[in-house]
Amino acid sequence: MTAIQTTVVLAMTADGKISAVDPRAPRDSDRADKAHLEYQVSLADLILVGAGTIRAEGTTFVITNPELLAARQIRGQSPQPITCVVSRSLELSLDLPFFQQDVERWIFTTRTALQESSHTEALEKVANLITLGDTDLEWDRGYSIMAERGIRKVVALGGGSLTASLVGAKRIDDWWLTIWPVIYGGEKAPTPVEGEGFIPRSAPHLQLVETRQVNSELFLHYRTLY
Ligand SMILES: NC(=O)c1ccc[n+]([C@@H]2O[C@H](COP(=O)([O-])OP(=O)(O)OC[C@H]3O[C@@H](n4cnc5c(N)ncnc54)[C@H](OP(=O)(O)O)[C@@H]3O)[C@@H](O)[C@H]2O)c1
C-alpha cells in the first residue's frame, strides 16, 4: 500500500498561539498567509480538521485560485480536497455552514458516538461517517481506510487537539508553521499542539528544511525526525 504523506499547516503568533482566548475572534491571517495556506491545501487529497475548529469557524477552507484549481485537474484530483472532521462526540450542529459547502465531507468518529448521538441519522445524510474504534480513534485504521480510498496526501489544519493526537500517533511527516508578527497572550489561548504534552527525551524533534520571509511574517518548513 502506498504511504500517505501528512503535512501540518498552522499559523501561530510570535508567542505561540493559534487563536486568541476567544476562539471565535477573527485571526490575523494576511494575504501572504492565505496564499500559502491555499497552495498547501491545493496539494491535498484530504484535509483533516478537528471538530473544535469546525465549531469555531463554521466552514472548511475552499480553494478559489483558478491556477491551483487547474493544477488539481491536471493531477486528476477533484476540485476540492475531501474535508474530514475528527470528532469523538459527534457534537456537530447541522446548522454549521460547513454542511452546505460544496465539498465531500467525511467524519472520523467512534462507535460509541454513533450509537449515542441524537443526530447520527441526520449527519449520515450530509457526511460519510467512518468509525475508527469503540471509544478512541485508532489512527492506523484511519490511515488504512484513507489508503484504500486512494488518498495519498493529507494536510492537517489543526487545531491543537487534533495535531496532538496525530503527533502521538507518529503520523506527521512535515510541518509548515507561519509565524504572525503579533502577540495574543492568554493562558487559555490554544497552541499548535495541545494534549498531555511530551517529556523532552521522547518529544518529536524537527529538522528545519526551508524558510521564507514576507515582510515581518515567517514561513517555516520542518521535517519530523522519527
Ligand atoms: N491558527 C491556525 O492555523 C489555526 C488552525 C486551526 C484551528 N485554529 C483555532 O484553534 C482552535 C481550536 O483548537 P482546539 O485544539 O480547541 O480544537 P480542534 O483540535 O480543532 O478540535 C478538538 C476536537 O476535535 C476532536 N478530536 C481531536 N482529536 C481527536 C481524537 N484523537 N479522537 C477523537 N476526537 C478528536 C474532538 O471533538 P469532539 O469534541 O467533537 O469530540 C475534540 O474536542 C479554534 O480557535 C480555531 O480557530 C487555528
- Report pLDDT digits (tens) over 47-105: 999 999 999 999 999 999 999 999 999 999 999 999 999 999 999 999 999 999 999 99
pLDDT at 167 over 90: yes
39 CB contacts (<8 Å, ≥6 apart)?
A: 68
Q: State the closest ligand 1 atom to the C-alpha of 52, by its place in the atom list counted from 1.
A: 21
pTM: 0.97
The alpha carbon torsion through 162, 163, 169, 171 (nearest 10 deg) reads 120
Q: How far is CA 14 from CA 164, 178, 187, in A?
A: 20, 9, 15
pLDDT at 201 over 80: yes
Q: Whose CA is nearest to atom 37 of ligand 1?
A: 87
Ligand 1 pocket check for 194: Cβ under 6 Å: yes
Q: Which of 17, 19, 30, 176 to mutate to test the pocket of ligand 1 (most atoms within 8 A of CB)?
A: 19
Per domain, the residue ranges of the chain are 5-21+28-225
Q: Which of 22, 36, 55, 86 to mutate to test the pocket of ligand 1 (most atoms within 8 A of CB)?
A: 86
H-run or E-run covering 116? helix 111-116
**Contact of 106 with 6, CB cutoff 8 Å:** no
**Does domain 5-21+28-225 correspond to CATH entry 3.40.50.300?**
no
Confidence tier at 2 by pLDDT (50, 70, 90):
low
Ligand 1 pocket check for 18: Cβ under 6 Å: yes
